[in-house]
A and B are shown apart, each in its own frame.
Chain A
């Protein structure tokens, strides 16, 4: 997986692109799959991790169910909360599936199949490039939004 900073910046980019009011929800959605799969650490320290697996919580279906379950925690338009958390989660999975492994991948279609999918493009430690690209895209978008006229003149 890319590091969390890359996930956060990509989520912020899309939150800014779609002019989303609550950017933190998109960022939460982008980190949620990793938060859920890291739950095993609690049970690891309790010494009962052998009997429980949380790895399949890092799947689109399970994350979507968790989003539906946590949405009522927010006193806000439920449709917007689900949509924004979902957008963040989608960015997470899209960028995770580009990661390269010798043998691994993501159970993208769980519970329909246990097949693992990966595009095998980028080693996780090379996510510096993704981070750089996403930071550049985010700052260009901010620049465009805050000084649109001046930015458009560059391309005239």
Chain B
């Protein structure tokens, strides 16, 4: 029993240390942010990356893209907006401040998948509470 508690504490300590480690790593790494790029493209440009969001308006040579945070204008032609879903775009952030489309992919019918995921979650809850009963000391066999 004592051994099990020590083992549990060791796993908990390892988990906390790794969680702290990944957060330190996250803070330390030079993260690309669209605001920083717009303010100072000479420093933060010359970079490629993907963004996820919705195509809002399509013009002949450009399109407006909403990534949930802000709407940005991208250079690129022949783009078609997604059907019932979002779009992932792969961009070249240039030193002159332009954002140029390299490639894109439409996540068509992604909203349907969100709906199916909700169905799956409800089914999981049904299955879980059919097999387990919640007590003060955890879950016991139903």
Q: Which residues of A contact B (CB under 8 A)?
A: 3-5, 7-8, 22-24, 27-28, 31, 51-53, 55-57, 61-62, 65-66, 68-69, 72-76, 101-104, 110-111, 114, 123-125, 127-128, 131
Contact = CB atoms under 8 A, between A and B. Distances in A.
Given A7-B120, A110-B22, 13 more contacts: A5-B116, A27-B128, A56-B22, A69-B11, A73-B138, A75-B138, A76-B141, A101-B88, A102-B88, A102-B105, A124-B107, A125-B113, A128-B113
B137 interface: yes
B108 interface: yes
B50 A102 contact: yes
A28 to B, nearest CB: 7
Interface of B: 8, 11-12, 14-15, 18-19, 21-23, 25-27, 48-50, 85, 88, 90, 102-103, 105-110, 113-114, 116-117, 119-121, 123-124, 127-128, 130-132, 135, 137-141
Contacts of A125: 85, 106-110, 113
B12 A69 contact: yes
Nearest to A101: B50
A39 B98 CA distance: 35
Given A27-B124, A66-B15, A111-B21, A3 B117 contact: yes
B121 A22 contact: no
Given A23-B131, A103-B90, A74 B138 contact: yes
23 contacts: A3-B117, A4-B116, A5-B113, A8-B120, A24-B128, A28-B124, A31-B121, A51-B27, A52-B23, A53-B22, A53-B23, A65-B15, A65-B18, A76-B140, A102-B88, A102-B102, A114-B25, A123-B105, A124-B107, A125-B108, A125-B113, A128-B109, A128-B113
B18 to A, nearest CB: 6
Nearest to A9: B120
Nearest to A11: B124
Given A23-B131, A24-B127, A65 B11 contact: yes
Q: Decide if the interface of chain B is mainly helix, strand, loop or mixed.
A: helix
B137 A75 contact: yes
A23 B127 contact: yes
B81 to A, nearest CB: 14
Nearest to B114: A3
Contact of A111 (B18, B120, B137): B18
Contacts of A102: 50, 88, 90, 102-103, 105
Contacts of B50: 101-104
Given A31-B124, A123-B105, A5 B119 contact: yes
Nearest to B112: A128
B8 A72 contact: yes
